[in-house]
Amino acid sequence: MSGAPPSEQAPQSEPGRSTLRCVRVPLATTPYDVWIGHGAAERLASVMPDSSRQVAVVTQAGVPDVVKVELPALRCEIGDGEAAKSLSTVEELCRAFARAGLTRADCVVAVGGGIVTDVAGFAAASYHRGIAVVNVPTTLLGMVDAAIGGKTAVNLPEGKNLVGAFWQPASVLCELDALDTLPARELRCGYGEMAKYHFLTGEDLLSLPMAERIARCVAIKAVVVAGDERETATNAGDRGRAVLNYGHTLAHALEVAGEHDLRHGEAVAIGLVYAAELAAELGRIDAARVAEHRRVVREYGLEAALPPGSDADALIALMARDKKALDGLTFVLDGPRGVEVVTDVPRAAVERALGRMSGLVP
């Protein structure tokens, strides 16, 4: 996955605005564009379906008001935090759509972070068995990951993202104006996902300006998604869409455990280093490669150690419920062929790698 993928298009200039970058997600049946830059949200009217007569804007309190909707619009605010990623929230949205008389010809516009695009996307996929959705991510995490690729889901008490649907957006508008007021911790949350892309390609993304780095992350994801849209490549050795979950197996377990105040990107950073330690435990990579993982995570200003008091047995039980776990404990790990799915990982290796992450093993 080296070099610029074919999905990256030449930057385009908008009158009176800075250059916008456009990345094509080249799906066989429903290709779409991701626009990145200051003023990207101004393209909303041009990317909504022509059939739209009204719009449902799904957002959260405090999210920057970056979109201007010229059609009649219903505003739906959902709650904050992972608790809002629930089936009850999806039901509330769909009932609001029904009361407003939204039809299959209309459009949902999701404005916010990954929780908003996940929930709004699943509601759009479910309402009338599918209504168009345009994602306008306002967080760095949303721009480089959650808003792109069509994976929508909500949580259950038993695990993250266990109920959902594949529903591709009509377009994604990454409005960089929204990052100007993003709290430092929310930026770090996005950095955790950004760090992942370093290890999928081997590129030094830290050397790029922010707008170019976002566009590059989007382009990398676009190529992976186009090659395995519905994540069917989940067998040992596969390098399909599951590679985008690099670092996420432990990350999701840490989030579901709920014992620590961790945002998704912070948990992913810990998960990336853990995946490297586990790969080294299995003899797939050497110590220098583990050190490279720690260096990249550190340069993004993120922590790499397990939170104090983590329960190894509880984390392993949660990791065993991961969606990839079709054949024993399953992880996405680095190795001689790059990042790929590894199945039936011995529990003893998982425990030893966790021990090193918490300082219990030299």
- Indicate if 151 belongs to the active site: yes
Catalytic annotation, pick one of 8, 42, 193, 277: 193
Instruction: Point out the catalytic residue in the list 85, 252, 263, 324.
Output: 252
Annotated active-site residue 161? The verdict is no
Choose the catalytic residue: 24, 85, 151, 216. 151
* Nearest of 285, 288, 251 to residue 270 by alpha carbon: 251
Please tell me which residue in 231, 255, 266, 340 is annotated as part of the active site.
Answer: 231
Question: Is 42 labeled as catalytic in the residue annotation?
Answer: no
Three-state SS string across 71-115, please?
CCEEEEEECCCHHHCCHHHHHHHHHHHHHHCCCCCCEEEEEECHH
Q: Which of 24, 216, 221, 293 does the annotation list as catalytic?
A: 221
Label each residue of 298-319 as H, E or C.
Answer: HHCCCCCCCCCCCCHHHHHHHH
Say whether 252 is catalytic. Answer: yes
Tokens found for residue 130: 């599918």
Residue 264 falls in the annotated catalytic set: yes
Report the C-alpha gap between 307 and 165 in whole angstroms: 32
From the list 239, 264, 293, 323, the catalytic residue is: 264
Q: Has 38 been annotated as catalytic?
A: no
Residue of 38, 248, 293, 323 marked catalytic: 248
Is residue 193 annotated as a catalytic residue, yes or no? yes
Range list of H helices, the chain: 44-47, 87-100, 114-126, 140-141, 184-201, 210-227, 248-257, 264-281, 287-299, 312-319, 347-357
Catalytic residue of the set 135, 155, 161, 245? 245
Single out the catalytic residue among 70, 129, 158, 337: 129
User: What are the tokens at 182?
Assistant: 């993003």
99 is annotated as an active-site residue: no
Is residue 133 within 8 Å of 104, Cβ to Cβ?
no
- Residues tagged active-site: 129, 151, 193, 221, 231, 241, 245, 248, 252, 264
